[in-house]
Protein backbone atom coordinates (compact mmCIF):
# COMPACT_ATOMS: atom_id res chain seq x y z
CA UNK A 1 0.00 0.00 0.00
CA UNK A 2 0.99 3.65 0.34
CA UNK A 3 3.99 4.41 2.58
CA UNK A 4 2.52 6.57 5.34
CA UNK A 5 5.69 8.47 6.14
CA UNK A 6 6.33 9.63 2.55
CA UNK A 7 2.63 10.24 1.95
CA UNK A 8 2.52 12.62 4.94
CA UNK A 9 5.77 14.25 3.86
CA UNK A 10 4.15 14.97 0.48
CA UNK A 11 0.92 16.14 2.11
CA UNK A 12 2.83 18.58 4.33
CA UNK A 13 4.37 20.26 1.26
CA UNK A 14 1.23 22.34 1.13
CA UNK A 15 2.17 23.96 4.46
CA UNK A 16 5.64 25.14 3.46
CA UNK A 17 6.49 28.83 2.98
CA UNK A 18 6.48 28.51 -0.82
CA UNK A 19 3.32 26.40 -0.89
CA UNK A 20 0.72 26.92 -3.62
CA UNK A 21 -2.08 26.68 -1.04
CA UNK A 22 -3.03 30.38 -1.13
CA UNK A 23 -2.93 30.65 -4.92
CA UNK A 24 -4.79 27.40 -5.38
CA UNK A 25 -7.48 28.25 -2.84
CA UNK A 26 -8.10 31.70 -4.39
CA UNK A 27 -8.27 30.19 -7.80
CA UNK A 28 -10.88 27.63 -6.80
CA UNK A 29 -12.78 30.31 -4.88
CA UNK A 30 -13.27 31.95 -8.29
CA UNK A 31 -14.31 28.58 -9.78
CA UNK A 32 -16.78 27.95 -6.93
CA UNK A 33 -18.34 31.36 -7.58
CA UNK A 34 -18.50 30.64 -11.32
CA UNK A 35 -20.21 27.27 -10.73
CA UNK A 36 -22.80 28.95 -8.53
CA UNK A 37 -23.52 31.54 -11.23
CA UNK A 38 -23.91 28.72 -13.76
CA UNK A 39 -26.63 27.13 -11.63
CA UNK A 40 -24.60 24.28 -10.12
CA UNK A 41 -25.48 23.21 -6.58
CA UNK A 42 -22.78 22.63 -3.96
CA UNK A 43 -22.62 18.87 -4.59
CA UNK A 44 -22.15 19.38 -8.33
CA UNK A 45 -19.48 22.03 -7.74
CA UNK A 46 -17.45 19.78 -5.43
CA UNK A 47 -18.06 16.79 -7.71
CA UNK A 48 -16.65 18.79 -10.64
CA UNK A 49 -13.56 19.95 -8.74
CA UNK A 50 -12.76 16.44 -7.48
CA UNK A 51 -13.33 14.68 -10.79
CA UNK A 52 -11.79 17.23 -13.15
CA UNK A 53 -9.16 18.97 -10.99
CA UNK A 54 -7.88 21.13 -13.84
CA UNK A 55 -8.74 24.79 -13.92
CA UNK A 56 -8.63 25.57 -17.67
CA UNK A 57 -10.79 22.50 -18.35
CA UNK A 58 -13.39 23.63 -15.80
CA UNK A 59 -13.45 27.12 -17.34
CA UNK A 60 -13.94 25.67 -20.83
CA UNK A 61 -16.76 23.46 -19.54
CA UNK A 62 -18.42 26.50 -17.95
CA UNK A 63 -18.09 28.58 -21.13
CA UNK A 64 -19.36 25.71 -23.28
CA UNK A 65 -22.38 25.20 -21.04
CA UNK A 66 -23.17 28.93 -21.19
CA UNK A 67 -23.46 28.79 -24.99
CA UNK A 68 -25.37 25.49 -24.89
CA UNK A 69 -22.65 23.34 -26.51
CA UNK A 70 -23.24 19.58 -26.99
CA UNK A 71 -21.50 16.97 -24.84
CA UNK A 72 -19.26 16.02 -27.78
CA UNK A 73 -18.23 19.66 -28.21
CA UNK A 74 -17.48 19.95 -24.49
CA UNK A 75 -15.40 16.75 -24.65
CA UNK A 76 -13.34 17.96 -27.62
CA UNK A 77 -12.85 21.49 -26.27
CA UNK A 78 -11.74 20.23 -22.85
CA UNK A 79 -9.53 17.54 -24.36
CA UNK A 80 -7.70 20.08 -26.54
CA UNK A 81 -7.25 22.55 -23.66
CA UNK A 82 -6.05 19.86 -21.27
CA UNK A 83 -3.83 18.03 -23.77
CA UNK A 84 -0.92 19.80 -22.03
CA UNK A 85 -1.37 17.22 -19.24
CA UNK A 86 0.10 14.57 -21.58
CA UNK A 87 3.64 16.03 -21.81
CA UNK A 88 3.38 16.95 -18.11
CA UNK A 89 2.73 13.28 -17.27
CA UNK A 90 5.49 12.01 -19.57
CA UNK A 91 8.00 14.46 -18.08
CA UNK A 92 7.13 13.47 -14.51
CA UNK A 93 6.20 9.80 -14.20
CA UNK A 94 9.54 8.32 -15.42
CA UNK A 95 11.07 10.03 -12.35
CA UNK A 96 8.73 8.02 -10.10
CA UNK A 97 8.61 4.62 -11.84
CA UNK A 98 10.00 1.85 -9.66
CA UNK A 99 9.66 -1.91 -10.18
CA UNK A 100 8.74 -2.52 -6.53
CA UNK A 101 5.63 -0.35 -6.79
CA UNK A 102 2.31 -1.67 -8.15
CA UNK A 103 1.05 -0.10 -11.38
CA UNK A 104 -2.35 0.85 -9.94
CA UNK A 105 -0.64 3.57 -7.90
CA UNK A 106 0.56 5.25 -11.08
CA UNK A 107 -2.77 4.86 -12.90
CA UNK A 108 -4.70 6.18 -9.91
CA UNK A 109 -2.36 9.06 -9.05
CA UNK A 110 -2.09 10.43 -12.60
CA UNK A 111 -5.34 12.21 -11.72
CA UNK A 112 -3.29 14.57 -9.52
CA UNK A 113 -1.31 15.97 -12.46
CA UNK A 114 -1.93 19.71 -12.41
CA UNK A 115 0.39 22.72 -12.53
CA UNK A 116 0.73 23.16 -8.75
CA UNK A 117 1.39 19.52 -7.82
CA UNK A 118 3.63 19.04 -10.88
CA UNK A 119 5.84 22.02 -9.98
CA UNK A 120 6.13 20.94 -6.31
CA UNK A 121 7.15 17.42 -7.35
CA UNK A 122 9.64 18.70 -9.93
CA UNK A 123 11.33 20.87 -7.29
CA UNK A 124 11.52 18.16 -4.61
CA UNK A 125 11.82 14.73 -6.24
CA UNK A 126 15.60 14.54 -5.81
CA UNK A 127 15.21 14.62 -2.02
CA UNK A 128 13.03 11.49 -2.04
CA UNK A 129 14.30 7.91 -2.64
CA UNK A 130 13.00 6.74 -6.02
CA UNK A 131 11.13 3.79 -4.53
CA UNK A 132 8.93 6.09 -2.46
CA UNK A 133 8.48 9.01 -4.84
CA UNK A 134 5.06 7.74 -5.91
CA UNK A 135 3.86 7.79 -2.26
CA UNK A 136 5.24 11.29 -1.85
CA UNK A 137 3.44 12.28 -5.07
CA UNK A 138 0.12 10.83 -3.84
CA UNK A 139 0.59 12.94 -0.67
CA UNK A 140 1.17 16.13 -2.70
CA UNK A 141 -1.81 15.35 -4.95
CA UNK A 142 -4.13 14.64 -2.02
CA UNK A 143 -3.10 17.92 -0.37
CA UNK A 144 -3.59 20.09 -3.47
CA UNK A 145 -6.91 18.40 -4.23
CA UNK A 146 -8.10 18.99 -0.63
CA UNK A 147 -7.19 22.67 -0.92
CA UNK A 148 -9.09 22.89 -4.22
CA UNK A 149 -12.20 21.41 -2.63
CA UNK A 150 -12.01 23.89 0.27
CA UNK A 151 -11.57 26.76 -2.23
CA UNK A 152 -14.60 25.63 -4.26
CA UNK A 153 -16.68 25.42 -1.07
CA UNK A 154 -15.64 28.93 0.03
CA UNK A 155 -16.26 30.35 -3.44
CA UNK A 156 -19.69 28.76 -3.67
CA UNK A 157 -20.94 30.07 -0.33
CA UNK A 158 -19.10 33.38 -0.01
CA UNK A 159 -19.11 34.71 -3.59
CA UNK A 160 -22.16 36.86 -2.87
CA UNK A 161 -20.15 38.74 -0.22
CA UNK A 162 -17.31 39.52 -2.66
CA UNK A 163 -17.47 42.33 -5.18
CA UNK A 164 -16.15 42.18 -8.73
CA UNK A 165 -12.81 43.86 -7.91
CA UNK A 166 -12.13 41.26 -5.24
CA UNK A 167 -12.92 38.43 -7.67
CA UNK A 168 -10.57 39.95 -10.28
CA UNK A 169 -7.87 40.27 -7.61
CA UNK A 170 -8.25 36.57 -6.82
CA UNK A 171 -8.18 35.62 -10.50
CA UNK A 172 -4.77 37.28 -11.20
CA UNK A 173 -3.19 35.61 -8.18
CA UNK A 174 -2.97 32.16 -9.75
CA UNK A 175 -1.12 33.04 -13.01
CA UNK A 176 1.25 35.32 -11.08
CA UNK A 177 2.07 32.54 -8.62
CA UNK A 178 2.71 29.99 -11.38
CA UNK A 179 4.74 32.49 -13.39
CA UNK A 180 6.98 33.03 -10.35
CA UNK A 181 7.25 29.26 -9.84
CA UNK A 182 8.22 28.72 -13.48
CA UNK A 183 10.86 31.46 -13.30
CA UNK A 184 12.13 29.96 -10.04
CA UNK A 185 12.42 26.54 -11.76
CA UNK A 186 14.40 27.97 -14.69
CA UNK A 187 17.84 26.77 -13.65
CA UNK A 188 19.08 25.17 -16.88
CA UNK A 189 19.38 26.56 -20.42
CA UNK A 190 16.71 24.18 -21.69
CA UNK A 191 14.12 24.99 -19.02
CA UNK A 192 14.81 28.75 -19.14
CA UNK A 193 14.48 28.84 -22.91
CA UNK A 194 11.36 26.64 -22.81
CA UNK A 195 9.68 29.04 -20.37
CA UNK A 196 10.75 32.12 -22.34
CA UNK A 197 9.63 30.74 -25.70
CA UNK A 198 6.35 29.48 -24.24
CA UNK A 199 5.57 32.94 -22.84
CA UNK A 200 6.36 34.62 -26.18
CA UNK A 201 4.83 32.07 -28.56
CA UNK A 202 1.64 31.28 -26.59
CA UNK A 203 -0.07 34.66 -27.08
CA UNK A 204 1.31 35.12 -30.63
CA UNK A 205 -0.06 31.77 -31.85
CA UNK A 206 -3.33 32.48 -30.03
CA UNK A 207 -3.96 35.30 -32.55
CA UNK A 208 -4.01 32.73 -35.39
CA UNK A 209 -5.30 29.60 -33.67
CA UNK A 210 -6.87 30.08 -30.21
CA UNK A 211 -7.73 26.36 -29.75
CA UNK A 212 -4.28 25.01 -30.58
CA UNK A 213 -2.14 27.91 -29.32
CA UNK A 214 -0.98 26.29 -26.07
CA UNK A 215 -0.07 22.97 -27.65
CA UNK A 216 1.64 24.51 -30.68
CA UNK A 217 3.58 26.97 -28.53
CA UNK A 218 4.62 24.08 -26.28
CA UNK A 219 5.77 21.86 -29.15
CA UNK A 220 7.57 24.62 -31.10
CA UNK A 221 9.07 26.40 -28.07
CA UNK A 222 9.97 23.15 -26.29
CA UNK A 223 11.62 21.63 -29.37
CA UNK A 224 13.71 24.77 -30.06
CA UNK A 225 14.75 24.89 -26.38
CA UNK A 226 15.65 21.18 -26.42
CA UNK A 227 17.77 21.53 -29.59
CA UNK A 228 19.55 24.67 -28.35
CA UNK A 229 20.26 22.98 -24.99
CA UNK A 230 21.67 19.86 -26.67
CA UNK A 231 23.77 21.97 -29.06
CA UNK A 232 25.21 23.86 -26.06
CA UNK A 233 26.13 20.62 -24.30
CA UNK A 234 27.79 19.13 -27.39
Partner 1 sequence: MSANIVYAILVTSLATFLSRFLGTITSESIKETSQLFKWFNCLAYATLAALIARTIIFPAGVLIDASYASRLVVVLLSLFVFFISKKNFVYPTIFSAISMGILNSYF
How far apart, in whole angstroms, are the C-alpha atoms of residue 82 and residue 145? 17
CB 193 within 8 A of CB 224: yes
Closest CB 156 distance from partner 1, rounded Å: 14
CB 18 within 8 A of CB 147: no
Answer yes or no whether residue 153 interacts with partner 1 by CB under 8 A.
no
Closest CB 136 distance from partner 1, rounded Å: 16
Q: How many residues does the chain have?
A: 234
Q: What is the CB neighbour count within 10 angstroms for residue 212?
A: 14
Closest CB 160 distance from partner 1, rounded Å: 14
Quick one: which of 66, 129, 184, 211 contacts partner 1 (CB under 8 A)? 184
Q: CB under 8 A: which stretch of 7-15, 142-150, 215-223 binds partner 1?
A: 215-223
Quick one: which of 1, 15, 17, 234 contacts partner 1 (CB under 8 A)? 17
CB 198 within 8 A of CB 58: no
100-139 positions binding partner 1, by CB under 8 A:
106-107, 110-111, 113, 115, 118
Quick one: which of 5, 12, 98, 226 contacts partner 1 (CB under 8 A)? 226
Answer yes or no whether residue 145 interacts with partner 1 by CB under 8 A.
no
Q: DSSP for 179-216? A: HHHHHHH--SHHHHHHHHHHHHHHHHHHHH-TTTHHHH
Quick one: which of 3, 25, 48, 142 contacts partner 1 (CB under 8 A)? 48
Percent helix, strand, coil in the chain, to 5, is 85, 0, 15
User: CB-wise, 4 or 211, nearer to partner 1?
Assistant: 211
81-100 positions binding partner 1, by CB under 8 A:
82-95, 97
Amino acid sequence: MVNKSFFLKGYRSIFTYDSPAIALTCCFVAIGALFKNLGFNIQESIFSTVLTYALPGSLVMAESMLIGASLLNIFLAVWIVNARLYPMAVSLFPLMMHKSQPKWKYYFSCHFIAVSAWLIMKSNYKKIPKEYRIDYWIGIGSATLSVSVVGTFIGFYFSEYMNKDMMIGLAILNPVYFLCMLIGASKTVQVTLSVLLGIILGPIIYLFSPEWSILLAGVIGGTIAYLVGEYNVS
